[in-house]
Amino acid sequence: MIFDTHAHYDDEQFDPDREELLTKLHSEGICGIANVGFNRASILSTHRLADQYDFVWEVLGFHPDETWEMEEDAERILPWLSEQLARPKVLAVGEIGLDYYWDKTDREIQKKWFRAQMDLAKQLHLPVVIHSREAAADTMELIREGGIPEGMLDMHCYSYSPEQAKEYLKMGYFLGIGGVSTFKNAKKLKEVLELAPLEQLLLETDCPYLAPVPFRGKRNDSGKIPLVIDAIAAIKGIEPERVEEVCLENTCRFYRRLKENSYAGA
């Protein structure tokens, strides 16, 4: 069974066939999906998906590009977010972090609300899902400062160096692996996969983005995760079935509420 630990099925790219696709995916072995709400509107649309499908779960927070929303409503936003995180199908706080590629929000504002959301996650005893793009040093510094416990942090769509990966792995954190692992030019990520213990990897899509080869550039979905599994298996010299099995176990260790809810894959 496969659990997609990071998806965006509320994205408008799925509007034409969302219900048909999700139903098909579940019938074909996708046992669970963590849909990520990354701003006010997306948090609410993630609620609707989780209410409609028993296999869709929630990860909620403000993406660094969207932290301007938090700044505009600074006095009320954390209490509001806390209320959303109290829903029974919420698995984690995310995706939170820093994004210096798009630079849509002032970097100091990004840092302020990254810290605040990590603190909130610790108060609520929830794991965190991290987004970091072209902000390697500052992300590492703030994570160290934040003191997230071992096993409670996922570096979503890991894209940094093997050296940085070693540091996150030493801290007992997980690395999110998706379609980029199949790209011919993903040399650094392939090196990371060689050194990373299988027990610290999570399978994800970030769909509708980052579809694996041979679908690169097209709309991604959870049904393409077997291509990622095959890529990891080839790099590690093990059977794909082993990758699938261990990554599901990893997901249940990271998203702890899955076990609390007698999740079928736990």
Residue 120 belongs to some domain of the structure: yes
Q: Give tens-digit pLDDT for 185-201.
A: 999 999 999 999 999 99
Residue 265 belongs to some domain of the structure: no
Q: Give tens-digit pLDDT for 9-46.
A: 999 999 999 999 999 999 999 999 999 999 999 999 99
* pLDDT tier at 115, thresholds 50, 70, 90: very high
Residue 188 belongs to some domain of the structure: yes
Number of domains comprising the chain: 1
Rounded Cα distance between 15 and 199, Å, is 35
Residue 58 belongs to some domain of the structure: yes
Could you tell me where the beta strands, DSSP code E, fall in 43-133? Answer: 56-60, 90-99, 128-133
- Residue 238 confidence (pLDDT) above 70: yes
Share of the chain above pLDDT 90, in %: 96
CATH number, position 251 = 3.20.20.140
Residue 266 belongs to some domain of the structure: no
Rounded Cα distance between 84 and 210, Å, is 28
Q: Residue 266: what pLDDT?
A: 41
- 181's CB contacts (< 8 A; 6+ apart) are 189, 190, 193, 212, 228, 231, 232, 235
Residue 200 belongs to some domain of the structure: yes
| 86-43-98 Cα angle (round to 5) | 100
Beta carbons of 71 and 104 less than 8 angstroms apart: no
What domain range includes position 252?
A: 2-260
Q: Give tens-digit pLDDT for 118-175.
A: 999 999 999 999 999 999 999 999 999 999 999 999 999 999 999 999 999 999 999 9
